[in-house]
């Protein structure tokens, strides 16, 4: 939806017609829209495959396919669907893969599907740029108190707080509300229409705090987010990179604050090593120059 909006904004100047199609929305509306000219179709793989298998979205003349968050789309869950979609397109199509991380799934896909690939790597410049990373060493039972202290000491425009399960997201959102702060939450077990509403309301600034699962780690551009908190620390460096990347968008500054228990110490060391970064102990005072520009 976010990508589609951007394409619509650009498209009106160059007369490009686009549409968005995702699961959980009306197929009938998509069918009606596809009766008219569509130059760019933005959507989720399952819905586009459904439309094409019904011969509604005709992909036989589609000359360019872009896989945003390619590492996710070529994971074991999505790759078979993507392969079916690609097989419906001309052999001469151009394939563009965009990803912040480059796992083996992308490498093997390129070998099978892309001839003479060209790699453009900007990660040396952009990875974690503008984001200052801290950790707070706590016991599990101290986490909510620690979060309350952060809220009182930091000047937060908007914050995203990550938990490792939908259940913990809901429990934490309830605790934050009880502390007297306005709070939204979002996770994959919610209905699509409810998730859409939360996302749009948060983006409009209706609430300062959003608690979420890793559903919210990719491609979400909200420039006003200046603090990202890992209430539950992730196990993988890829997840960590995508999570804290929700802050520091478009040259803005941000803080990434990680709550670390005894169980998380090895993951902390591993992530620092794999991302070639340094996560520093949380100081008593944090300069606003680090996260408010």
What's the domain count of the chain? Answer: 2
Last residue of one domain, picked from the residues 123, 139, 166? 123
- Domain range for 50: 2-123
Last residue of one domain, picked from the residues 68, 98, 123? 123
pLDDT, tens digit (0-9, with 9 covering 90-100), for 132-156 = 999 999 999 999 999 999 999 999 9
CB neighbour list of residue 179: distance below 8 Å, 6 or more residues apart: 144, 148, 151
pLDDT at 222: 83
pLDDT at 43: 94
Same domain, 134 and 99: no
Same domain, 12 and 110: yes
pLDDT at 75: 86
pLDDT at 154: 94
Assess contact for 4 and 19: CB atoms under 8 A: yes
Q: Per residue in 256-283, is it b (16+ CB within 10 Å) or e — as a string? A: bbbbbeeebeebbeebbeebebebeebe
pLDDT at 152: 93
Same domain, 141 and 50: no
CATH number, residue 60: 3.40.50.300
Same domain, 183 and 115: no
Same domain, 174 and 106: no
Angle of helix 79-87 relative to helix 45-53, nearest 10 degrees, comes to 40
Going residue by residue through the chain, which has 293 residues, state the pLDDT in tens, using 9 for 90 and above: 888 989 999 999 999 999 999 987 888 999 999 999 999 999 999 999 999 998 899 999 999 999 998 888 888 888 899 999 999 999 999 999 998 777 777 888 888 888 889 988 876 554 567 899 999 999 999 999 999 999 999 999 999 999 999 999 999 999 999 999 989 999 988 888 898 899 889 989 999 999 999 887 776 778 889 999 999 999 998 889 889 988 877 667 899 999 999 999 999 999 999 888 899 999 999 999 989 87
pLDDT at 247: 83
């Amino acid at each position: 939806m976010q990508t589609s909006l951007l394409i619509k904004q650009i498209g009106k100047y160059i007369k490009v017609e686009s549409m968005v199609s995702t699961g959980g929305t009306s197929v009938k509306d998509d069918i009606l829209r596809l009766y008219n000219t569509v130059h760019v179709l933005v959507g989720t793989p399952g819905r586009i495959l459904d439309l094409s298998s019904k011969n509604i979205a005709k992909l036989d003349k589609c000359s360019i396919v872009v896989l945003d968050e390619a590492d996710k789309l070529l994971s074991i869950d999505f790759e078979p669907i993507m392969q079916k979609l690609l097989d419906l397109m001309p052999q001469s199509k151009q394939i563009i893969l965009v990803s912040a991380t480059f796992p083996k799934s992308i490498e093997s896909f390129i070998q099978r599907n892309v001839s003479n690939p060209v790699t453009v790597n900007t990660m040396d410049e952009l990875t974690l740029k503008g984001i200052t990373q801290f950790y707070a060493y706590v016991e599990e039972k101290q986490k909510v108190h620690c979060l309350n202290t952060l809220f009182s000491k930091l000047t937060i425009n908007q914050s995203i707080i990550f938990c490792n399960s939908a259940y913990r997201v809901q429990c934490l959102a309830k605790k934050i509300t009880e502390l007297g702060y306005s709070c939204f939450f979002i996770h994959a077990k919610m209905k699509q229409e409810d998730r859409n509403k939360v996302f749009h309301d948060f983006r409009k600034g209706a609430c300062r705090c959003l608690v979420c699962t890793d559903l919210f780690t990719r491609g979400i551009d909200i420039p006003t987010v200046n603090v990202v908190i890992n209430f539950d620390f992730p196990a993988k460096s890829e997840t960590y990179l995508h999570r804290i990347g929700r802050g520091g968008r478009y040259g803005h500054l941000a803080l990434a604050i990680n709550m670390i228990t005894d169980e998380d110490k090895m993951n902390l060391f591993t992530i620092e090593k794999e991302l070639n970064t340094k996560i520093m102990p949380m100081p008593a005072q944090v300069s606003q120059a680090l996260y408010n520009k």
